[in-house]
Each structure stands twice: as C-alpha cells, then as structure tokens.
Amino acid sequence: MERLSGMDAMFLYLETPSQPLNICGLLLLDTSTMPGGYSFERFKAALAVQVEAVPQFRMKLRDSQLNLGHPVWAYDTDFHVERHLHRTALPSPGGDVELAEACGRIAAQPLNRDLPLWEMWVIESLAAEGAVAVMLKCHHSAADGIGAAGIIAQLCGTEPDSVVPQPIEVPAPPNRLQIAAGGALSIAERPRRFASALTGTLLTAMRTARRIPTGKTMAPPFAAPNTVFNAPFTTRRSVAFCDIALDEVKAIKNAYGLTVNDVITALCAEALRRYLLARSELPESSLIAAVPVAVHERSDRPGRNQASWLFYRLGTDIEDPVARLAFIADGSAKAKDHNAEMAPTLVQDWTASLNPTVIRSVLRVLPAVPKPPRPAFNLLLSNVPGPALQLYLLGSRITSLIPFGPILAGTALNITAMSLNGRVGIGFTSCPDAVPDISDIARHLEDGFADLRDAAAATSTK
C-alpha cells in the first residue's frame, strides 16, 4: 500500500471527460528481432510475464468512505493483462497521418479507475515492412515523465532476448481501516506541510522581490498573450510527432555554446512562430511556456510526481532564429538560477497541505471565477531525458519513442520531447476543436530544424 501524494492525487481531482490526464508514449517497433517472429498472441504472452515485475502496472487506486486522506495504491488482486492490452490496426496506407489519428483517439479516452491505470495498444498494419506501433498510456497520477521513462526501462531489455525479471510478490490487500488509518496519519502531517509551504512561499516571494531590480527573474504567469492555444477544448485530442537526430541537435548546441534543452526549446519556439505567422496570428509579445523541472534529486517528499514549474519566454517576437537562441539560453539560465533559490518542494508542499474535500470544493467553484484577461501561459513544454541505449520491447527493437503529455489548465497545447538512443522524439498534443491543424506545427519544427542546422554548420565552418 502506498498513499498518493497531494500532487499525485491532484491529477485525479483535476481530471474531467474533456481533460483526461493521461501521459502516453508511442513506441515504433522493428519486430524482425522478436524471437520466433511477431504475432499478437506471442506479444501478449510475453507482456503477461513482463508486467509481473512492474509494480506501477499491477497497482490500482483504493479508497474507503472512512478515509479522509488521498486514496492509496494497492496491488490489484484480480489483475488480468487482457484488460489492459488492446489490438487495433491502421486503415490504408498506414502512414503517419493514420497513426496520429489512432494515437489521438487513444490519448482522448480517460482510463478506467477500477483497474491499474494503464493501457497498451498494439497498432498493426503500418506501411513499413515488419513495423508495429505500441501506444502506452498511463495516468499522470501514477507517473510523471521521469517515472514513465522508468516504466519503459522496466518493460524493456537491452537485448532482444533479455532475461525476464522476477515477478513481484503481491502482499495482501489493505482493508478499509488500514486505508483510513494511513489517511488520518497523513492529515496529521498537513499542518507541518502547510507551515513548510507558507515559509517556502514567503522566502520565494522575498527572494523574487530582491531579484526584480537585477532583471534575473523568470517570466511571471498570467502575462502571456492570447493565442489559439488558449482556446477552450473538448473531449477530442489530436497528436502530431517528429523524430530528430540527437547528434544534429548537439551540433547546433556546440556551434552556439548552449544546452540540448535550449536547442529543443528554440526549435519549438521557431515552429510556433512559423505556425502563428502562417495564420496571421503572431502576438506582439512572446509566448510563455510552462516547463516542469524534475526535483527527484532535490526533494525528500513522497509521491510519483516530483516536479516544480518554471515559466519560459520563448522569444517568438524575435525574428532572427539565432538571436532567439541566445535569448532562450539567457532566459533559461535566469529561470534556473531563480528556481534554485525557490524551495524545490514548494508545489509538493502546497498540494500536500490540502485535503481532498477542500480540493474538490475549490474545483467546484473554479468555473465560476472570472477568467483573468491574459492566459497564465500558452503551452506546456517538457523535455525528459530517456535511456541512451538501444532498447527492445518484448524482443522487438524500438526504432522511435514519442512522448505525449496532457493538455490542461486552459492550455490546449502540450509539447513533450524525450531522447532515446541517439534520437529525440517530440510529441504534440492538442484538441482539434481548439487547434485544427497540429501536424503543421510538427512540419514547421522539422523545417526550422533543417534551417538551424544549416546555419550552425555555416557558423562552425567559418
């Protein structure tokens, strides 16, 4: 039994039919390496054995009416892999358009809370010979980006015939009193978390005030321009993706003396600028991205989500891509510097100090609160480092990994990047009723990448 942290539970309370809080990963597989050759039945049998060793895939939410705290994770004593594994196929010609459509549909469906919160969709009939796609979907309460990378690593091996791990021994399920007792203890914790959150906030406010004259602050929220990405969204989801070479990203980084993260951010900024220009909707002020930063190493707080949030100006108002690169690098250095002075557990402590009843009451009145004139931010932007190894999922070589984050908090665009074995997969999630043509953004990113690569090559050879 493992109690959800306030931050983990927040992703449950914030979920609605039009705001499913899934995180997804699309794995493109070359099945030619699969021992015995690919068949869905063989894949299913291998998965059934492999998931025995993945605790996150075996545990489900448990709650009790006596419980005043957040729900707990407990092993599902009636676990069946076929409740989680689905098989579908793409219509002809089985290209990226059809694949994106299938993935958008999967991302749109909330998970069933009566089961462990994950699904795996095997997608067949891809155009490429021997190619099969796997869309893996987890609830955000069960894993953040780093957690998801960990799950993928647990599911995969570094060889086609990696040794299958030992299954977990499942403990007896908790009874209603155990669920409630832990909840009462967690309530006793709350005043301490509240004090810690309050102290952290005051300290952060003081330090931020001291920084303002120096100009070394990150972008403030609720100062973002109005864009199509802040249009209201429905239950539908659309996704798009691209997959670029990490070597080429590094060549740009080296040419201008930046970080990989800065280059990824700059590529997104360029793509968004091109997209908005083409729609004649480029705002005068820069777009602002909300960026989660992992605090796994700086936080001693429990929970599966270990993140704090930064706000980045993307410099979409700057015309020259190279000048924008420098602006982004400067901004991210300032934001990180500012963030280093903030309590890393601030978000965790605030969410931990609230009880489920208070959270639900706040969420109920929230729709009646007038919207501020400017959006908090324009998009969610996340970059998760993945394994630098060739991985095999149940014997099949992973040729590409694309992450998809959820859209939420009034922002209809999520861009998430994740590296794997020399490639960077970039996934775009939106709602077609808000942003009708998200695949254009992915194409603009690829075009902008080619241009920046050429510019960097010219700089390096000068």
Which residues contact a second copy by CB under 8 A? 17-18, 40, 82-83, 86-92, 101-102, 105, 109, 112-115, 124-125, 234-236, 432-433
Least distance from a second copy to the Cβ atom of residue 278, Å:
21
CB-nearer residue toward a second copy: 59 or 352: 59
CB-nearer residue toward a second copy: 48 or 181: 48
Least distance from a second copy to the Cβ atom of residue 141, Å:
17
CB pairs under 8 A, 24+ apart, for 332-338? 332/259, 332/261, 332/262, 332/265, 334/215, 334/216, 334/217, 334/218, 335/218, 335/219, 335/291, 335/310, 335/311, 336/293, 336/310, 337/216, 338/208, 338/211, 338/216, 338/217, 338/218
CB-nearer residue toward a second copy: 15 or 262: 15
CB-nearer residue toward a second copy: 95 or 257: 95
Q: In what order do the strands lie in the sheet with 72-75?
A: 2-3, 72-75, 59-62
Q: CB burial class (10 A; 0-12, 13-18, 19+) of residue 139?
A: buried
Give the C-alpha distances (Å, rounded to integers) separating 344 from 179, 200, 293, 301, 311: 29, 9, 9, 10, 15
CB-nearer residue toward a second copy: 47 or 102: 102
- Name 100's Cβ contacts closer than 8 Å, sequence gap at least 6: 238, 239, 240, 241, 439
CB-nearer residue toward a second copy: 235 or 399: 235
Least distance from a second copy to the Cβ atom of residue 256, Å:
42
CA nearest neighbour of 17 among 136, 113, 137: 113
Q: Confirm if 343 and 203 have CB atoms less than 8 A apart.
A: yes
CA nearest neighbour of 42 among 31, 55, 26: 31
CB-nearer residue toward a second copy: 15 or 243: 15
Least distance from a second copy to the Cβ atom of residue 55, Å:
22
CA nearest neighbour of 21 among 327, 340, 408, 339: 408
CA nearest neighbour of 419 among 252, 239, 249: 249
Least distance from a second copy to the Cβ atom of residue 125, Å:
6
CB-nearer residue toward a second copy: 40 or 222: 40
Give the C-alpha distances (Å, rounded to integers) separating 62 from 138, 177, 269, 284: 17, 12, 42, 49
Omega within 30 of 0 (cis) for the link into 93: yes
Q: CB burial class (10 A; 0-12, 13-18, 19+) of residue 316?
A: buried
Does residue 189 sit in helix, strand or coil?
Answer: helix
Least distance from a second copy to the Cβ atom of residue 57, Å:
17
Least distance from a second copy to the Cβ atom of residue 113, Å:
8
Q: Confirm if 448 and 414 have CB atoms less than 8 A apart.
A: no
Least distance from a second copy to the Cβ atom of residue 441, Å:
19
Question: Considering just the CA atoms, what is the radius of gyration of the chain in Å?
Answer: 22
CB-nearer residue toward a second copy: 55 or 432: 432
The catalytic site residues sit at: 140
